[in-house]
Structure 1
Amino acid sequence: MLNSINTNPGALLALQNLNATNTELTTTQGRINTGKKVATAKDNGAIWSMAKMQSASSSSLNAVKDSLQRGQSTIDVALAAGDTITELLSKMKEKALAASDTSLNTASFNALKADFESLRDQIQKAADNAKFNGVSLADGSTTRLAFLANSDGGSFTVNAQTIDLDGLSLSAALTFTSAANAQSIIAKMTSALQTATNKLSSLGTSSSGLDTHLTFVGKLQDSLDAGVGNLVDADLAKESAKLQSLQTKQQLGVQALSIANQSPQSILSLFKG
């Protein structure tokens, strides 16, 4: 080997190895600090791009979940109103049946009539107030509502079910003036009650569908997040072990460079007398 004071191949090699170790150490420390093996496009462009796209899809599902939850609330409000309305219809039928008794005196008949009319008015009020965030599926103001179903903008459609007086084929002026008239209203109340229960059943089916789809969206989002983690997250146990190894290697590299730098000094002994 050429003995030269201008060039020290051993030191150059030791410096190259030390620089390589320092680079690996910096990378490992970065992974430990961020918890990611691919934190930027510089680390791995293809994986980083894929992870970003999947993260965007996962994030957009938050809007889908919000929309579906609004749908649930809107239906729940309509169902709550529907429960009240079916109870009112049952009571109206009861009042009509009681008023059909020809043995009633005038005072009792008029009391039943007043109760019947009050219950009738409550039905319309219940339907009119069945709104969530200004939207109703029960008052006839809309025919259907579309909620977000996926990150591509697809929709989950819920058909409205009008359960106000018009939707139940009842008049806002419905009443009875005689026992015979009350008798004729009983069948009408039975029909209205059947119509209401059928419409509520349809809303219940839609609510169940929303629940199922919302659960699916939640699972999908979890799967996407887990997939992104598999792509970019660092194995911290592995990186910790590697850190210990590289720190030891760095110390050895510094010592090797120190030894290599001492080599040219041996040339001085050639010039001693």
Structure 2
Amino acid sequence: MSISNSVNTNAGAMVALQNLNKTNSELQEVQTRINTGMKVAGAKDNGGIFAIAQRMRSEVSGYSAVQQSLDRGMATTDVALAAGEAISDLLIEMKEKALAAGDASLDTASRSALNEDYKALRDQIGTIVSNAEFNGVNLIDGSQTDGFIALANADGSNSITVGTENLSLSGTIVTITSTSSFSTATTAAAAASAIGTSLDNVNNALARLGTKSKALEIHDSFVTKLSDALETGIGNLVDADLAKESARLQSLQVKQQLGIQALGIANSAPQSVLSFFQ
């Protein structure tokens, strides 16, 4: 194939320029990856991978909300458990006072002193119930008809419900009334029996709350692991291998210098036409 000697068209320079432009484009791409640490920073880099990564990012964001909901649920349940355990301890003390007062040989003054202690413990139950609140939610005063509903998945279609337990006085669990007291051995024995029933009910309620608290804790651990796995998956899709990109950068820099030299050689070729006219 013959090569035309022309000052109007320099095919060699065109080819050299095309190659240099391609090298510069690749060099810019590598520099962007090194600057951002990502091989797919936007849809222009790889539309399919970017769409998958964005969907996974959406799931990670959703699981962040799930974890916050589960954390609130665990805190609310833990407050209810702490209050319930305190109430259980108070009932044990109240039963002790009532049983002591049920001794027929006890004098009136001693029984009256025991009754005052009993009433103080009784009133403390009401105080604990009214203050067992976290973030505006109280699971043991009967105010939350639906309990606490925690998110369980990223799209909100599943949930974990912690049921409410009404530990207020005169309720179905704590059957003793807010005016419960005793003045005789007979009424003290009746109070002790009622407290025994209430204590069993409270312990059953604590078992239910404890089971739900454990379920929230297990699911929170699972969601944390799932979110971490998704984060790792996103990284595998979009993160750049910086060691590889560094090596490629050096290669392209050398290639760029060679391209510049090749373009210079190609641009000097038309000067040879002048020798034809000497």
Mapped to 1, the partners of 2:58 and 2:165 lie a distance apart of: 36
Mapped to 1, the partners of 2:192 and 2:174 lie a distance apart of: 14
Mapped to 1, the partners of 2:211 and 2:60 lie a distance apart of: 28
Give the letter for the 1:210 counterpart. L
Give the letter for the 1:122 counterpart. Q
Give the letter for the 1:251 counterpart. Q
Question: What is the 5 A alignment of 1:71-220?
Answer: 71-143=73-145, 144-153=147-156, 154-165=158-169, 166=171, 167-220=173-226
Shift of 1:190: 1.4
Shift of 1:103: 2.1
Find the counterpart in structure 2 of residue 222 from structure 1: 228
Mapped to 2, the partners of 1:139 and 1:241 lie a distance apart of: 66
> Alpha-carbon deviations, 1:26-58, whole Å to 9, x = none?
111111111111111111111111111110111
Mapped to 2, the partners of 1:186 and 1:157 lie a distance apart of: 34
Question: What is the 5 A alignment of 1:19-98?
Answer: 19-98=21-100
Give the letter for the 2:104 counterpart. T
* TM-score, normalisation: structure 2: 0.95
Mapped to 1, the partners of 2:193 and 2:108 lie a distance apart of: 23
Mapped to 1, the partners of 2:267 and 2:31 lie a distance apart of: 29
Percent sequence identity is: 54
Q: Which sections of structure 2, spanning at least 5 residues, go unmatched?
A: none
Mapped to 1, the partners of 2:176 and 2:95 lie a distance apart of: 13
Find the counterpart in structure 2 of residue 260 from structure 1: 266
Mapped to 1, the partners of 2:85 and 2:270 lie a distance apart of: 97
> Alpha-carbon deviations, 1:146-194, whole Å to 9, x = none?
1111111122111111222213112112111201221222222111111
Shift of 1:100: 1.2
Which residue, out of 224, 247, 272, partners 1:241? 247
Shift of 1:203: 0.2
Shift of 1:93: 0.5
For residue 138 of structure 1, give the secondary structure of its aligned residue in structure 2: coil
Give the letter for the 1:111 counterpart. A
How many residues get paired? 272
Q: Which sections of structure 1, spanning at least 5 residues, go unmatched?
A: none
- Which structure 1 residue ranges, 4+ long, deviate > 6 Å from structure 2? none
* TM-score, normalisation: structure 1: 0.97
Find the counterpart in structure 2 of residue 3 from structure 1: 5
Which residue, out of 17, 20, 24, partners 2:19? 17
Q: CA RMSD in A?
A: 1.1
Shift of 1:212: 0.5
Give the letter for the 1:76 counterpart. D
Mapped to 2, the partners of 1:216 and 1:75 lie a distance apart of: 19
Mapped to 1, the partners of 2:189 and 2:166 lie a distance apart of: 26
Mapped to 2, the partners of 1:171 and 1:228 lie a distance apart of: 59
For residue 128 of structure 1, give the secondary structure of its aligned residue in structure 2: helix
